[in-house]
C-alpha cells in the first residue's frame, strides 16, 4: 500500500511540538486575561461573505487564498445560499460572532482567541496552509488607550516567551492611516502621483491603483521603488484629529517604555484598517518576518452590517513564534510514578485500583503496559527510565498475596517493600 501522506502545507503537532504551541497559546491567553480579555472561539468554517465584507474582495486572501468547503450533497434543493470557506483569519468571524451573540450591547469587549487558520498559499518557511494564530481584539473603544493597551499586551507577550526577554529579537513598526477623511485625501494624492504617467509601474501596482492605491506602498517590485520613494507621505495628510490620535498613541507607548519605529509605508494587507497600524517583525525567520501584526478598524463593524462601533486587534503566527521561543521556558510535565503489576488479572485489577487511589491524592501515576512476563521486569523498568520516573512501584504475585508493594528509587537503585496501606504517606514524604 502506498504511504498515506499529509496534506501539503499542514504540520502534525507531535507531543513535543504540541507542548510548544500550548505554551505559547496558554501564556498569551493568561497574559491577556490579566488585562481583562476573555477567551472565545468561532467555528473554523464560515460563509465566504463574512470575509468578503470584512477583509475585502480585492485582497489576495479573499480573492485566491480561501479553501472552499463543499458539502457532500446538495440534495436539499440548493439551500447552500452562499459558499462556505475555511477561515483565513479570525477578526471577521469574531466580529460576526459578537454581533450575532448580542455582545454589541455590552461594550467594551476585550476578546482573545487561539486556533487554526487556513490559506491556500505556496508553503515555505513560516508560511503554512494550516497555521495557528493567537489574537486579541478590543471592541467599542474610540480612545487611543485601547491602542496603547493592545500594543503593550503584544509586546509583553513577546517579551515573556522570547529568549532574553525579547531583547534584540524583534522591532515594532508603527504607522497611522488616519480617519476616513485623511485616508481619502491621501488616496487622491497617491492616485495623482502614481497615475500621472510619470512612472512605469508593475502590473500588480497598476491594478492596485484602481482598487487600493495604498497597497502600492507595500510593493517590493524594483520597478516601483522610485515611484514609492518619491510618493507623498501619509503623515502629511492626516487631519488634526488623526494627528492628535497618533500622537497620543506614541506618547502612551513611550510612557510604557515601548518605542516603535514610525514606518510611513506600513499600510498592511487588509482593507479594514484605519488610524493605528503596527507590526512586530524579526529578522530571524527569513522571508516571513512578521511575528504579530494588527491595527484599528473603526469602520469594520458597520461595513459588516452592524452598529458603527470601533475596534482594534492583532494576530500572531504561533508557528513563527514557536521557532523563536526559549525552549527552556516550556513547562515540563511532572514525571509519573510508574506502577508495574503482573502475574494475574487479580494483581492487575488491584494495581489499577491503587493507581486511581494515588491519583485522587494528587500523584501522577502511569500503569506499566509492557506486559512483563512474571519472570522479567526489564522492559517495564526500561520504560521507567524513558519516562523519567523517580519511583517505580512493583507488585507481583508475592506482594499481592501479602498486601505489600515494592517501592524502587530509580536514582539510587534501592528498593524495599512496604504495606500498600502505607504507600500514600510514604510517597508524600518523598521530595
Assess contact for 312 and 146: CB atoms under 8 A: yes
Smallest gap from Cβ 128 to RNA, in A, equals: 5
User: Which residue lies nearer to RNA by CB, 48 or 243?
Assistant: 48
Smallest gap from Cβ 6 to RNA, in A, equals: 6
Smallest gap from Cβ 78 to RNA, in A, equals: 28
> Which three three-digit cell numbers place residue 90?
479570525
Q: Specify the DSSP class assigned to residue 157.
A: H
| Under rule CB under 7 A, residue 137 binds RNA | no
Please tell me the distance from the alpha carbon of residue 252 to that of residue 258, in angstroms, as a whole number. 9
Assess contact for 202 and 210: CB atoms under 8 A: no
| Under rule CB under 7 A, residue 178 binds RNA | no
Q: Which of 143, 180, 239, 415 binds RNA (CB under 7 A)?
A: 415
User: Which residue lies nearer to RNA by CB, 133 or 250?
Assistant: 133
Residue linked to cell 510593493: 219
Cα 356 to chain center, whole Å?
A: 35
Q: Which of 292, 312, 339, 423 binds RNA (CB under 7 A)?
A: 292
Give the total of residues touching RNA (CB under 7 A). Answer: 72
| Under rule CB under 7 A, residue 169 binds RNA | no
Assess contact for 170 and 280: CB atoms under 8 A: yes
| Under rule CB under 7 A, residue 167 binds RNA | no
> Which three three-digit cell numbers place residue 365?
501515576
| Under rule CB under 7 A, residue 416 binds RNA | no
User: Which residue lies nearer to RNA by CB, 327 or 402?
Assistant: 402
Residues 224-263 that bind RNA (CB under 7 A): none
Residues 56-115 that bind RNA (CB under 7 A): 59-61, 65, 89
Smallest gap from Cβ 372 to RNA, in A, equals: 8
Q: Of 159-167, 226-234, 305-313, 382-390, which segment contacts RNA by CB under 7 A? A: 382-390
Helix (H/G/I), strand (E/B), else coil: 310: coil
Residues 304-343 that bind RNA (CB under 7 A): 315-317, 319-320, 343
Residue linked to cell 491595527: 295
Please tell me the distance from the alpha carbon of residue 288 to that of residue 292, in angstroms, as a whole number. 11
* Torsion sign, CA atoms 300, 304, 309, 313: negative
Residues 4-23 that bind RNA (CB under 7 A): 5-10
User: Which residue lies nearer to RNA by CB, 5 or 73?
Assistant: 5
Determine how β-strand 171-176 pairs with β-strand 261-262. Answer: parallel
Please tell me the distance from the alpha carbon of residue 412 to that of residue 426, in angstroms, as a whole number. 17
Amino acid at each position: 500500500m502506498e504511504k498515506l501522506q499529509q496534506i501539503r502545507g499542514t504540520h502534525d503537532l507531535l507531543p513535543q511540538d504540541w507542548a510548544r504551541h500550548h505554551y505559547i497559546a496558554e501564556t498569551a491567553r493568561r497574559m491577556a486575561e490579566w488585562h481583562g480579555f476573555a477567551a472565545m472561539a468561532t467555528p473554523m468554517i464560515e460563509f465566504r461573505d463574512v470575509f468578503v465584507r470584512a477583509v475585502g474582495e480585492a485582497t489576495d486572501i479573499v480573492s485566491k487564498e480561501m479553501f472552499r468547503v463543499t458539502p457532500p450533497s446538495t440534495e436539499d434543493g440548493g439551500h447552500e445560499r452562499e459558499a462556505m470557506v475555511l477561515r483565513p483569519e479570525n477578526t471577521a468571524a469574531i466580529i460576526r460572532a459578537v454581533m450575532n451573540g448580542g455582545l454589541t450591547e455590552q461594550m467594551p469587549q476585550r476578546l482573545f482567541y487561539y486556533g487554526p487558520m487556513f490559506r491556500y498559499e505556496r508553503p515555505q518557511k513560516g508560511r503554512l496552509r494550516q497555521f495557528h494564530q493567537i489574537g486579541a481584539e478590543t471592541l467599542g473603544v474610540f480612545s487611543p488607550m485601547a491602542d496603547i493597551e493592545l500594543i503593550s499586551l503584544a509586546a509583553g507577550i513577546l517579551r515573556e516567551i522570547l529568549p532574553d526577554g525579547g531583547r534584540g529579537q524583534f522591532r515594532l513598526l508603527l504607522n497611522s492611516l488616519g480617519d476616513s477623511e485623511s485616508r481619502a485625501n491621501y488616496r487622491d494624492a497617491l492616485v495623482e502621483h502614481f497615475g500621472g504617467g510619470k512612472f512605469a509601474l508593475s502590473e500588480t501596482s497598476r491594478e492596485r491603483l484602481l482598487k487600493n492605491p495604498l497597497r502600492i506602498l507595500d510593493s517590493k517590485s524594483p520597478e516601483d521603488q522610485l515611484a514609492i520613494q518619491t510618493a507623498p507621505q501619509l503623515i502629511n495628510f492626516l487631519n488634526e484629529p488623526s494627528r492628535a490620535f497618533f500622537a497620543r498613541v506614541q506618547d502612551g507607548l513611550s510612557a510604557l517604555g515601548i518605542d516603535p519605529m514610525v514606518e510611513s509605508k506600513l499600510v498592511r494587507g487588509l482593507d479594514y484598517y484605519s488610524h493605528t497600524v503596527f507590526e512586530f517583525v524579526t529578522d530571524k525567520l527569513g522571508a516571513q518576518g512578521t511575528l504579530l501584526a494588527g491595527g484599528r478598524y473603526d469602520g469594520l463593524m458597520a461595513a459588516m452590517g452592524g452598529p458603527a462601533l470601533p475596534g482594534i486587534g492583532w494576530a500572531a503566527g504561533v508557528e513563527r513564534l514557536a521557532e523563536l521561543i526559549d525552549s527552556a521556558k516550556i513547562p515540563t510535565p511532572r514525571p509519573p510514578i510508574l506502577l508495574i503489576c503482573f502475574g494475574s488479572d487479580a494483581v492487575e485489577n488491584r494495581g489499577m485500583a491503587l493507581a486511581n487511589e494515588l491519583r485522587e491524592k494528587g500523584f501522577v501515576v502511569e500503569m506499566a503496559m509492557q506486559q512483563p512476563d512474571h519472570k522479567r521486569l526489564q522492559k517495564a523498568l526500561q520504560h521507567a527510565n524513558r519516562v523519567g520516573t523517580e519511583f517505580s512501584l512493583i507488585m507481583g504475585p508475592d506482594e499481592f498475596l501479602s498486601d505489600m508493594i515494592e517501592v524502587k528509587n530509580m536514582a539510587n537503585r534501592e528498593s524495599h517493600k512496604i504495606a500498600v496501606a502505607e504507600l500514600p504517606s510514604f510517597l508524600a514524604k518523598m521530595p
